[in-house]
Amino acid sequence: MQHLIISAHPNENSFSNALAEALAKRSRHNDIDAVIRNLYEVDFNPILTKKDLSKIKEGTVPEDIAREQEILNDSEVISLIYPLWWGSFPAILKGYFDRVLTNGFAFKITTDGPEGLLKGKKAFLHTTMGNSIEEYENKGILKAFRQIHGQEVFGFCGIEVAGHLFYPHISDSSTDMKNKYIEEALGFYKTVLPDEEVVNSVKR
């Protein structure tokens, strides 16, 4: 089994990247291959161009997209870790979805409507944020984040959204709190990562 961990935080010392490492370590401890794709580290090009669109339409996917699609295809479990920026994904992550989840790879349009092509995979989403969870709950948009970030992307492609966690006030959280968040996050993977070796020693 392969676990793809997509991380979209530019700072290698961020909580996001600590969580990515903890998930990779726990996966390997469970004999699951872990692949971390830190989109900044791999310098992912997020701009979907006219040229890309015409190549995709012809069935000749650009090489950098094909590489990401192959990794995605080979992964049964997908973790997505990102900071909430303007209520949404960082641009590099939005561009990853724009360019990698192409028509013909991630979904197809049938006479009965769109059909997801990535069935049998599970996705876990992790959203760090500056605000509190209550603030978004009170505004009535926490549910919208779950829907738009989870179902409208992964669900649309046939991927089961197995969990979506939010981490409030992350920049102001203590190391103890961040470690607690990581333990809680790992707990969400019990069905796919049952072996619970303690792996976190976050000093961020």
Ligand X SMILES: Cc1cc2nc3c(=O)[nH]c(=O)nc-3n(C[C@H](O)[C@H](O)[C@H](O)COP(=O)(O)O)c2cc1C
| Interface residue list for ligand X (CB under 6 A) | 9, 14-16, 83-87, 128-131, 170-171
Query: What is the closest distance, in whole angstroms, from the C-beta atom of residue 78 to ligand X in the complex?
Result: 20
| Chain centroid offset of residue 30 CA | 20
Task: Return the amino acid letter for 176.
Answer: D
Q: How many CB atoms lie within 10 A of CB 92?
A: 19
Pick between residue 131 and residue 191 the one whose CB is nearest to ligand X: 131
Query: What is the closest distance, in whole angstroms, from the C-beta atom of residue 167 to ligand X in the complex?
Result: 7
Residue 14 to residue 41: CA distance in whole angstroms: 13
Residue 165 to residue 127: CA distance in whole angstroms: 6
- Per the structure block, which two tokens stand in for 8? 């979209």
Pick between residue 78 and residue 129 the one whose CB is nearest to ligand X: 129
Query: What is the closest distance, in whole angstroms, from the C-beta atom of residue 115 to ligand X in the complex?
Result: 32
Pick between residue 16 and residue 27 the one whose CB is nearest to ligand X: 16
Pick between residue 84 and residue 153 the one whose CB is nearest to ligand X: 84
Sequence-distant (≥ 6) Cβ neighbours of residue 50 within 8 angstroms: none
| Cross-strand partners of 81 | 7, 126
Query: What is the closest distance, in whole angstroms, from the C-beta atom of residue 14 to ligand X in the complex?
Result: 4
